[in-house]
Amino acid sequence: MNQYVTTGIVIKRVNYGEADRIITFLTPRRGKVRGIAKGVRREKSKLAGGIELFSESDLTLIKGRGEIDTIISTRLKVHYDSIVGDLVRTGAGYDFLGIVDAVTEDNYEENYYSLISMAFKFLNVKTLDAELTRCWFYTRLLDITGYTPELKLDVNDEPLREDENYLFDFSAGRFQLSQSEGFSTDVIKLMRLLQKHTPAQIDRVGGTKEALPAAAQILSRLAEYYLQIKK
Protein backbone atom coordinates (compact mmCIF):
# COMPACT_ATOMS: atom_id res chain seq x y z
CA MET A 1 0.00 0.00 0.00
CA ASN A 2 1.43 3.38 -0.95
CA GLN A 3 0.68 5.08 2.31
CA TYR A 4 2.59 8.14 3.39
CA VAL A 5 2.61 10.64 6.19
CA THR A 6 3.22 14.35 5.93
CA THR A 7 2.55 17.69 7.60
CA GLY A 8 0.35 19.98 5.57
CA ILE A 9 -1.34 23.36 5.48
CA VAL A 10 -4.73 23.51 3.80
CA ILE A 11 -4.72 26.00 0.96
CA LYS A 12 -7.93 25.10 -0.84
CA ARG A 13 -11.06 23.03 -0.39
CA VAL A 14 -13.49 22.10 -3.12
CA ASN A 15 -16.59 20.00 -2.77
CA TYR A 16 -16.90 16.77 -4.69
CA GLY A 17 -19.99 14.71 -5.14
CA GLU A 18 -22.55 14.39 -2.39
CA ALA A 19 -20.34 14.17 0.65
CA ASP A 20 -16.67 14.43 -0.26
CA ARG A 21 -14.14 17.21 -0.43
CA ILE A 22 -10.94 17.58 -2.39
CA ILE A 23 -8.40 19.36 -0.27
CA THR A 24 -5.19 20.89 -1.53
CA PHE A 25 -2.36 20.95 0.99
CA LEU A 26 1.01 22.57 0.90
CA THR A 27 3.63 20.29 2.41
CA PRO A 28 7.29 20.91 3.29
CA ARG A 29 8.80 18.18 1.10
CA ARG A 30 6.11 16.94 -1.24
CA GLY A 31 4.97 20.27 -2.57
CA LYS A 32 1.26 20.58 -3.30
CA VAL A 33 -0.73 17.49 -2.48
CA ARG A 34 -4.36 16.99 -3.36
CA GLY A 35 -6.35 14.53 -1.31
CA ILE A 36 -9.94 13.44 -1.25
CA ALA A 37 -11.60 13.40 2.14
CA LYS A 38 -14.50 11.00 1.85
CA GLY A 39 -17.78 11.57 3.59
CA VAL A 40 -16.68 14.70 5.50
CA ARG A 41 -19.66 16.72 4.43
CA ARG A 42 -22.02 14.32 6.07
CA GLU A 43 -20.57 15.57 9.32
CA LYS A 44 -22.70 18.69 9.59
CA SER A 45 -21.41 19.93 12.89
CA LYS A 46 -18.25 21.49 11.51
CA LEU A 47 -18.15 24.41 9.14
CA ALA A 48 -14.88 23.16 7.73
CA GLY A 49 -16.10 19.67 6.98
CA GLY A 50 -13.54 18.39 9.44
CA ILE A 51 -10.44 20.00 8.03
CA GLU A 52 -9.88 23.57 9.06
CA LEU A 53 -8.37 26.37 7.07
CA PHE A 54 -5.60 28.36 8.78
CA SER A 55 -4.21 25.26 10.41
CA GLU A 56 -1.33 22.81 10.17
CA SER A 57 -2.09 19.12 10.40
CA ASP A 58 -0.38 15.77 10.32
CA LEU A 59 -1.83 13.81 7.44
CA THR A 60 -1.87 10.19 6.39
CA LEU A 61 -2.69 9.57 2.74
CA ILE A 62 -2.75 6.74 0.24
CA LYS A 63 -1.25 7.46 -3.15
CA GLY A 64 -3.89 7.46 -5.86
CA ARG A 65 -3.49 6.42 -9.47
CA GLY A 66 -4.02 9.94 -10.73
CA GLU A 67 -3.34 13.31 -9.20
CA ILE A 68 -5.61 12.88 -6.21
CA ASP A 69 -4.63 10.81 -3.20
CA THR A 70 -6.99 9.61 -0.50
CA ILE A 71 -6.84 11.10 2.98
CA ILE A 72 -6.95 8.42 5.64
CA SER A 73 -6.55 10.56 8.71
CA THR A 74 -5.74 14.05 9.84
CA ARG A 75 -4.58 15.28 13.19
CA LEU A 76 -4.76 18.98 13.85
CA LYS A 77 -1.42 20.31 15.09
CA VAL A 78 -1.98 24.04 15.17
CA HIS A 79 -5.09 26.04 14.49
CA TYR A 80 -4.53 29.76 14.07
CA ASP A 81 -7.82 30.75 15.61
CA SER A 82 -7.03 34.43 16.00
CA ILE A 83 -7.02 34.71 12.22
CA VAL A 84 -10.70 33.89 12.07
CA GLY A 85 -11.48 36.09 15.05
CA ASP A 86 -10.74 39.30 13.15
CA LEU A 87 -12.04 40.17 9.73
CA VAL A 88 -8.93 42.00 8.53
CA ARG A 89 -6.82 39.01 9.53
CA THR A 90 -9.26 36.59 7.90
CA GLY A 91 -9.10 38.60 4.68
CA ALA A 92 -5.30 38.64 4.77
CA GLY A 93 -5.23 34.91 5.50
CA TYR A 94 -7.41 34.08 2.51
CA ASP A 95 -5.32 36.46 0.42
CA PHE A 96 -2.11 34.59 1.33
CA LEU A 97 -3.69 31.21 0.58
CA GLY A 98 -4.95 32.33 -2.81
CA ILE A 99 -1.57 33.78 -3.75
CA VAL A 100 0.41 30.73 -2.67
CA ASP A 101 -2.01 28.47 -4.53
CA ALA A 102 -1.57 30.55 -7.69
CA VAL A 103 2.23 30.88 -7.59
CA THR A 104 2.81 27.20 -6.79
CA GLU A 105 0.69 26.03 -9.69
CA ASP A 106 3.64 25.28 -11.92
CA ASN A 107 6.56 25.27 -9.57
CA TYR A 108 7.08 24.55 -5.95
CA GLU A 109 9.85 25.31 -3.50
CA GLU A 110 10.16 24.41 0.16
CA ASN A 111 10.30 28.11 0.98
CA TYR A 112 6.59 28.48 0.23
CA TYR A 113 5.67 26.16 3.06
CA SER A 114 7.71 28.06 5.62
CA LEU A 115 6.41 31.35 4.15
CA ILE A 116 2.77 30.47 4.66
CA SER A 117 3.45 28.82 8.00
CA MET A 118 5.28 31.88 9.35
CA ALA A 119 2.74 34.25 7.82
CA PHE A 120 -0.05 32.48 9.71
CA LYS A 121 1.97 32.56 12.94
CA PHE A 122 2.40 36.32 12.64
CA LEU A 123 -1.16 36.88 11.52
CA ASN A 124 -2.32 34.94 14.56
CA VAL A 125 -0.66 37.40 16.94
CA LYS A 126 -3.30 39.94 17.91
CA THR A 127 -0.77 42.55 18.94
CA LEU A 128 0.80 42.62 15.48
CA ASP A 129 -0.80 44.81 12.83
CA ALA A 130 -2.18 42.52 10.11
CA GLU A 131 -1.07 45.05 7.50
CA LEU A 132 2.53 44.71 8.69
CA THR A 133 2.30 40.93 8.29
CA ARG A 134 0.82 41.42 4.84
CA CYS A 135 3.75 43.65 3.84
CA TRP A 136 6.20 41.09 5.20
CA PHE A 137 4.44 38.31 3.29
CA TYR A 138 4.70 40.18 -0.01
CA THR A 139 8.34 41.05 0.69
CA ARG A 140 9.24 37.43 1.33
CA LEU A 141 7.19 36.27 -1.66
CA LEU A 142 9.04 38.64 -3.96
CA ASP A 143 12.31 37.44 -2.50
CA ILE A 144 11.48 33.75 -3.06
CA THR A 145 10.40 34.41 -6.62
CA GLY A 146 13.47 36.52 -7.37
CA TYR A 147 11.73 39.86 -7.73
CA THR A 148 13.23 41.68 -4.76
CA PRO A 149 12.96 45.43 -5.38
CA GLU A 150 16.14 47.51 -5.30
CA LEU A 151 16.06 49.72 -2.19
CA LYS A 152 19.50 51.33 -2.18
CA LEU A 153 19.85 52.78 -5.67
CA ASP A 154 17.37 54.56 -7.88
CA VAL A 155 16.70 53.96 -11.59
CA ASN A 156 19.82 55.99 -12.43
CA ASP A 157 21.99 54.00 -10.00
CA GLU A 158 22.14 56.96 -7.65
CA PRO A 159 21.85 56.30 -3.89
CA LEU A 160 18.38 56.98 -2.52
CA ARG A 161 18.46 60.22 -0.56
CA GLU A 162 16.82 61.28 2.69
CA ASP A 163 14.12 63.91 2.59
CA GLU A 164 13.36 63.31 -1.06
CA ASN A 165 10.19 62.01 -2.65
CA TYR A 166 10.23 59.09 -4.99
CA LEU A 167 7.89 57.29 -7.35
CA PHE A 168 8.19 53.56 -7.93
CA ASP A 169 9.03 52.25 -11.40
CA PHE A 170 7.47 48.78 -11.51
CA SER A 171 9.15 47.63 -14.69
CA ALA A 172 12.57 48.58 -13.29
CA GLY A 173 11.77 47.43 -9.78
CA ARG A 174 13.31 50.63 -8.46
CA PHE A 175 12.44 54.04 -7.12
CA GLN A 176 12.87 57.17 -9.18
CA LEU A 177 13.23 60.70 -7.91
CA SER A 178 10.08 62.77 -8.08
CA GLN A 179 10.03 66.55 -8.38
CA SER A 180 6.65 66.80 -6.74
CA GLU A 181 4.59 64.16 -4.93
CA GLY A 182 5.71 60.66 -4.17
CA PHE A 183 6.65 58.20 -1.48
CA SER A 184 8.81 59.44 1.35
CA THR A 185 12.02 57.77 2.46
CA ASP A 186 10.12 56.46 5.52
CA VAL A 187 8.38 54.08 3.15
CA ILE A 188 11.71 52.98 1.71
CA LYS A 189 13.12 52.48 5.21
CA LEU A 190 10.18 50.30 6.14
CA MET A 191 10.62 48.24 2.98
CA ARG A 192 14.28 47.75 3.89
CA LEU A 193 13.29 46.61 7.39
CA LEU A 194 10.82 44.16 5.89
CA GLN A 195 13.57 42.58 3.82
CA LYS A 196 15.68 41.79 6.86
CA HIS A 197 13.35 41.45 9.82
CA THR A 198 10.18 39.74 10.94
CA PRO A 199 6.95 41.63 11.70
CA ALA A 200 7.54 41.04 15.42
CA GLN A 201 11.01 42.61 15.25
CA ILE A 202 9.78 45.57 13.20
CA ASP A 203 6.90 46.09 15.60
CA ARG A 204 9.39 46.47 18.47
CA VAL A 205 11.22 49.18 16.51
CA GLY A 206 8.02 51.17 16.15
CA GLY A 207 7.40 54.34 14.12
CA THR A 208 6.42 52.45 11.00
CA LYS A 209 2.65 52.74 11.15
CA GLU A 210 2.38 55.80 8.90
CA ALA A 211 4.46 54.22 6.17
CA LEU A 212 2.52 50.92 6.15
CA PRO A 213 -0.26 51.73 3.69
CA ALA A 214 2.16 53.08 1.08
CA ALA A 215 4.53 50.12 1.51
CA ALA A 216 1.60 47.72 1.22
CA GLN A 217 0.49 49.44 -1.96
CA ILE A 218 3.92 49.16 -3.61
CA LEU A 219 4.56 45.59 -2.54
CA SER A 220 1.17 44.20 -3.54
CA ARG A 221 1.31 45.94 -6.91
CA LEU A 222 4.81 44.60 -7.43
CA ALA A 223 3.59 41.08 -6.73
CA GLU A 224 0.66 41.54 -9.10
CA TYR A 225 2.96 42.91 -11.76
CA TYR A 226 5.67 40.27 -11.63
CA LEU A 227 3.72 37.23 -10.54
CA GLN A 228 0.59 38.09 -12.50
CA ILE A 229 -1.59 37.58 -9.50
CA LYS A 230 -5.02 38.87 -10.46
CA LYS A 231 -7.05 40.70 -7.80
Interface contacts to another protein, rule CB under 8 A: 13-15, 21, 44, 47-48, 53, 84-88, 90-92, 94-95, 126-131, 134, 220, 231
Tell me how far, at minimum, the Cβ of 91 lies from another protein, in Å.
4
Indicate the residue among 50 and 166 with the shorter CB distance to another protein. Answer: 50
Q: What distance in Å separates the CA atoms of residue 227 and residue 221, rounded to the nearest whole number?
A: 10
Residues present in the chain in total = 231
Indicate the residue among 23 and 142 with the shorter CB distance to another protein. Answer: 23
Q: What distance in Å separates the CA atoms of residue 85 and residue 24, rounded to the nearest whole number?
A: 23
Indicate the residue among 86 and 150 with the shorter CB distance to another protein. Answer: 86
Tell me how far, at minimum, the Cβ of 144 lies from another protein, in Å.
21
Tell me how far, at minimum, the Cβ of 2 lies from another protein, in Å.
28
Q: What distance in Å separates the CA atoms of residue 202 and residue 212, rounded to the nearest whole number?
A: 11
Q: What distance in Å separates the CA atoms of residue 41 and residue 20, rounded to the nearest whole number?
A: 6
Indicate the residue among 84 and 177 with the shorter CB distance to another protein. Answer: 84
Indicate the residue among 36 and 177 with the shorter CB distance to another protein. Answer: 36
Query: Residue 69's CB: how many other CB atoms inside 10 A?
Result: 21
User: HSE on the CB side for 33, CA within 13 Å?
Assistant: 28
Q: What distance in Å separates the CA atoms of residue 68 and residue 24, rounded to the nearest whole number?
A: 9
Tell me how far, at minimum, the Cβ of 228 lies from another protein, in Å.
15
Indicate the residue among 34 and 177 with the shorter CB distance to another protein. Answer: 34
Tell me how far, at minimum, the Cβ of 3 lies from another protein, in Å.
27
Q: What distance in Å separates the CA atoms of residue 48 and residue 105, rounded to the nearest whole number?
A: 24
